[in-house]
Structure 1
Amino acid sequence: MTPTATFTAAELEAETERLFKAFLHVDCTPGKSWDYDACRKFAPLTLEINRLKKEKDAVILTHSYVEPEIVYGVGDFKGDSYFLSLKAREAKAKMIVFAGVVFMAETAKILSPDATVVVPDRGSGCSLADSLTGDQLRKLKAAYPDAAVVCYINSTADVKAESDVCVTSGNVYDIVSALPQQRILFVPDRLMGENIRTELKRRGVAKEIITSDGTCIVHDVFDAAAVADARARFPGLKVVAHPECTPEVAAAADFVGSTGAMMKYVKTSEAPYYLMLTECGLVGRLQVETPDKHFIGGCRLCPYMKLNSLEKVRDALAAPRADQIVTLDEDTRRRAARCIDRMFELAPRD
């Protein structure tokens, strides 16, 4: 840890206590600790970042998959892509720091064009979003000219700009069902596309779902055999999966839903054990926010999300390098904004 500001002993001790209370139940990342000594090391940086936020009129958006010291130490809002997209649209701050991956920071720039949007590490890509380019999507559109183009929010700005409507894993079924077109070109997630096809059939909705071939390197590795083994070892276990998992895993789970929906399910259900088939950062949040719940192994780490760090957040906030600043061609931004606005129009209200 390399803070560049100084604080009094009392300030550091108070911040250490705050962090320790927040991290008390976190134990989900192999090789990392959030004990009192770790919190003491975090404290100078979290204090510095929180001071810089006020000076810069900045807001920090933190995805649930990044490390707890970012989520609970400096984040103003924490959640999944959809929730953070809403917060990006509502943000009036001069600067937005997006602790997540690059496509999420692009979404923030699409929705808050006047803000300076920065990403802590430009290398924080996404196997799913990076699986399809705007040029590739244009070729798919030419092959299926009668299809409505529906892009998952885990996509680049170029792909959003070429799409009719954006969706999340939480609102995709309602939005696709509402579209007048019978043929749907869903990009970029092949596995989610397969799960959409299955769920819409179960609901009695006749749609032809065509997909591109992207997958998430976190969620595509889970398998149904491991689920069966876990059930045998932990009677009463509830299995919670993301729709980016394979159809076989989705079928074996007790609940399939978005990041936000998974959190709600765990918080409102009762079970002796939970197996979370998603990224470990979400399990860390649940450990903090539902300390009475018991989680068994199974989560996977996203190497891209873990590129975020307090030091990188601080540097991007204090004096962002050119590669940390998100810029978009205005025509691309406007077309992508229409795609996202269409989602907000069609998404069901809670």
Structure 2
Amino acid sequence: MTKDRFSRLVLLWLLILASLYVGHQVWRDFGSVASSPRAIAPREDLSGSEQATVALFERAAPSVAYLFTEDAPSRLAGNRPGGAGSGFVWDAAGHIVTNFHVVEGASRVRVRLDSGEAIEAKIVGVSPDHDLAVVKLVDLRQRLFPVPVGQSTDLRVGQTVFAIGNPFGLSRTLTRGIVSALDRRLPTASGREIAGVIQTDAAINPGNSGGPLLDSSGRLIGVTTAILSSSGGSAGVGFAVPVDVVNRIVPLLIRDGRVPRPGIGIAAAPEELAARYGVAGLVVAGTLPGSPATEVGLKPLDRATGRLGDIITHVQNRPITTIADLALALEAAGVGQRVTMSVQRDGRVRTVEVRIADIASD
């Protein structure tokens, strides 16, 4: 082997060894970096709005309840599993407010608060017409935090609202949105409507029902009750019973276990019948004996001949086209009051003064 060739081989080996050494160092450094935790970047303080939201949740969360129910046994289906929903502490006596549909048909109600313990509760009163119910804790060992009560008459579209509830069983979930609209009318299972309903885009999902809707001060402004969604999930259109209604109905439920149902003792024909006859108003299909409607001589539809009797067109100058319209007008006046009613028969309109009765037990 020549001297030049030997020198070239030595140089080649030296280059190979140098490459291996450098590669080893690079791999070792890379592996060390890859296996080391990243340095934590410092952050600034929460923004003012974030701090306000955190504080609101921390104040309000202890007032929010998780309700779960067991349904009364059925002869056909046996014991049914029941359901779950939300509620909130109303007072220090242990009253919890929720939706009627959360406890409807329940034979047993339990409530979970801060301690996480399931506390037995009894149903004190329900109002299907307002989708509201009150249950009372049987055991008052833990401290209660009643939610502060606001008002709904001065709400404005666009103001920030917060909903806290237990969607899908996930306890105390906070969502944020705005008041999307006011004065909506929401049908209830009883066939009547709740007036002045708040519409919000704060996410409301199954399990939120009965939870509080709060303003930016953390005051109760409504009780979440329904969503408008084809999928059953939040679509940004949720509804809440306004707190002014809640603040009127809940004390009655606590005191009496029921709410008077203003009425005049009539059965109304379907709206389609009025349309078929080309009349604008509520067709009287029947009257109850001894009712205010009978007292003023309201004449019902003759079912044998199909001849129309009386058609209620206005109450206190408010147009009436549905039974819900009539119910809202009578509720605005109140049981025991008298209202002026415009009634049409055979093309002639007359005015009658009718007494409003409590028909809840009829």
TM-score category (smaller protein): under 0.3
Q: Which has the higher contact order (CA 8 A, sep 6+)?
A: 1
Q: Which has the larger radius of gyration?
A: 2
Q: Under a length normalisation based on structure 1, what TM-score does the superposition of the two structures give?
A: 0.21
Structure 1 or 2: larger strand share?
Answer: 2
Structure 1 or 2: larger helix share?
Answer: 1
Q: Under a length normalisation based on structure 2, what TM-score does the superposition of the two structures give?
A: 0.21
